[in-house]
Amino acid sequence: MVDCVRLNCNGDIIMNGRARCEIISLPKFHAIFRQNATPTSMRMKLPITVASIPGSVEIWDSNNPDLAYFSANHNEAADALNVGCDENDYACWGFSPLTWDDSQGSCIVARKDKKPLHPDHVAALAEYCSDHLTPIFQMQIESEAFHWIDGQIYFISKQSVLDEITKDKFEEFFRAWKARQTHPGTRQRISPYDV
């Protein structure tokens, strides 16, 4: 069995009281290990795959009035993990593919190398992608369309974005992320590269 992470959607968190990230075990021959790794994880030399849990979306696509004020099947963290970083793919540069959106429900995240994956690693990786990389992608995309800011030429190259999607940059982020956590076990968590 391989330790993987269940990355829960809003419905599972708010209505079912589940944590955002939970450890799960899958057999080594599970189909998730045959999927392609996400583009950003490949650049960071930590290849992971993300797959929706069958039936997860259908559970939350209902007329339940308790679900009227939030997107129950929304999973921003899973969406952030799937952001594209191929500088020649205009449609997916800085965005997840159209086949993947933020309404995927709960998902499974696994390492392609079948090494154990801890919920803290997924939480940090999702935060890195959503809170660090997404704004950089956005600034770069906007700089291509709007070159002038306060009378100055303003342009961010795609290479400068790619320079942020590296093992070293994520390890630096992970160390700072751990330092911000309050749980002693999380603060002592080893890097996913050291597993």
- Joined together, the tokens standing for residue 17 give 């009281």
29, pLDDT greater than 90? yes
Are 108 and 6 within 8 A, CB to CB? Answer: yes
Q: Give the per-residue pLDDT at 20.
A: 93
Q: What gap in Å lies between CA 134 and CA 23, rounded to an integer?
A: 26
Q: What gap in Å lies between CA 18 and CA 6, rounded to an integer?
A: 10
Q: Give the per-residue pLDDT at 148.
A: 60
- Joined together, the tokens standing for residue 56 give 């997860």
Q: What gap in Å lies between CA 87 and CA 43, rounded to an integer?
A: 12
Q: Give the per-residue pLDDT at 60.
A: 55
Per-residue pLDDT, averaged over 150-157, amounts to 69
Segments in the chain forming alpha helices (H): 10-14, 39-43, 56-60, 76-81, 119-127, 134-145, 158-162, 167-180, 184-187
Q: Which residues pair with 22 in a beta bridge?
A: 6
- Joined together, the tokens standing for residue 93 give 């540069």
DSSP H/E element including 51: strand 48-52
Are 7 and 20 within 8 A, CB to CB? Answer: yes
Q: Which residues pair with 2 in a beta bridge?
A: 26
User: Over the stretch 105-136, which tens digit does the pLDDT of each residue have?
Assistant: 889 999 999 999 999 999 999 999 999 999 99
- Residue 86, helix vs strand vs coil: coil
User: Over the stretch 67-109, which tens digit does the pLDDT of each residue have?
Assistant: 555 576 778 888 899 998 888 887 788 888 777 765 678 899 9
- One DSSP character per residue, 33-44 reads GGSPPPHHHHHT
pTM of the model: 0.86
Which of 50-64, 128-142, 181-195 is least confident? 50-64
